[in-house]
A and B are shown apart, each in its own frame.
Chain A
């Protein structure tokens, strides 16, 4: 029996036991439903979407911009809820995710599914009606990609799960850009590429020191399937692609010198940490933890400086004038 069919059986048993969770009175609180939206992931999505929206050429009414960000946030949250519905069986087996509302039984699988589908529909339709159709189509594709391609297919099927699935997390700045311009060009594709190539070193660093958790849950993360040493090599390879990409907006003239300097310094630190991860052997996990933590700061720094430098026609330049 494959991992996917086992998961489907568990979900089916859970749904049958509770009648999809709709017959029994629910004890779920508003806080449980907010937890389904994965607020921490949502905050990063909103931030990168804000940068895409702010650096895009042209103007957007502040209320329209707010609506776009709200829809992107709700759409990301809906994808998170659908992910928690589908992955309830494996979430229950991992320490990091075992306290989520569905595995502990506070939210029933049917409730999480209905919640996710409702919010997905509302976020995409509202974005299409109030902002523009391209942004709505990109948001719909992002939700589909995260839930169907990544969660339901790749995550349990291949060690390349987070490489391909990482595209879902890379779309928000492109959606923000499309909300302003109604089109997609090289700049948002570059922002997409930065997040896309940032995802593997970020998640594999986590998977290195959580590999027992992933092994127990039967998720074929790279360190579990291909081995510890191979995963460390892959982290360094992807970091070697990421760091030049991080500098590319400055080289291509989309960003200024402050961004260039930040990307160079932060990229150099990423490379050093990735090298230390390569040299490290378990049970030591200090370098892996450091790389995981710094990778979050790396992405935040790049986008924050880009926002300050280019956002709304050059926020820094206006403040300096």
Chain B
């Protein structure tokens, strides 16, 4: 085995790359939705956002 082979590490197949890409997009969308949710809820609650009685 030469040095070049050693450095290659894990090489993803096309199917693995596609699966990873779809998972990455889903995570990005979920995080964006969470940001929007917190933004909108802050507007909805107004100053009351800091008042959270049990």
List chain A positions with a Cβ less than 8 A from chain B: 24-30, 33, 61, 63-64, 67, 70, 122, 126, 128-130, 132-134, 182
Contact = CB atoms under 8 A, between A and B. Distances in A.
A59 to B, nearest CB: 13
- Which 5 residue pairs of A and B lie closest in terms of their CB atoms, listed nearest first? A25-B16, A30-B26, A130-B41, A133-B54, A63-B44
Contact of A33 (B23, B40, B45): B23
Given A30-B26, A130-B45, A132-B54, 19 more contacts: A25-B12, A27-B15, A27-B16, A27-B19, A28-B23, A30-B22, A30-B23, A33-B26, A63-B40, A63-B44, A64-B45, A67-B37, A67-B41, A122-B34, A128-B52, A130-B38, A130-B41, A133-B52, A134-B54
Give the interface SS of chain B, mostly helix, strand, loop or mixed: helix
A28 B40 contact: no
Contacts of A126: 34, 37
Nearest to A122: B34
B25 to A, nearest CB: 8
Given A122-B34, A132-B54, A26 B41 contact: no
Contacts, number: 50
Interface residues of B, number: 20
Contacts of A132: 52-54
Contact of A64 (B15, B16, B41): B41
17 contacts: A24-B10, A27-B15, A27-B19, A29-B19, A29-B22, A29-B23, A33-B26, A61-B44, A64-B41, A129-B52, A130-B37, A130-B38, A130-B41, A132-B54, A133-B52, A133-B54, A134-B54
A26 B20 contact: yes
A133 B34 CA distance: 19
A133 B52 CA distance: 8
Contacts of B37: 67, 70, 126, 130
B9 to A, nearest CB: 11
Given A25-B10, A26-B20, A27-B16, A64 B26 contact: no
B41 A63 contact: yes
A27 B12 CA distance: 10
Query: Which of A25, A33, A64 has its CB near the most chain B CB atoms (within 10 A)?
Result: A25
Contacts of B44: 61, 63-64
Contacts of B15: 27
Contacts of B54: 132-134, 182
Nearest to A27: B19
Contacts of A134: 54
A25 B44 CA distance: 42
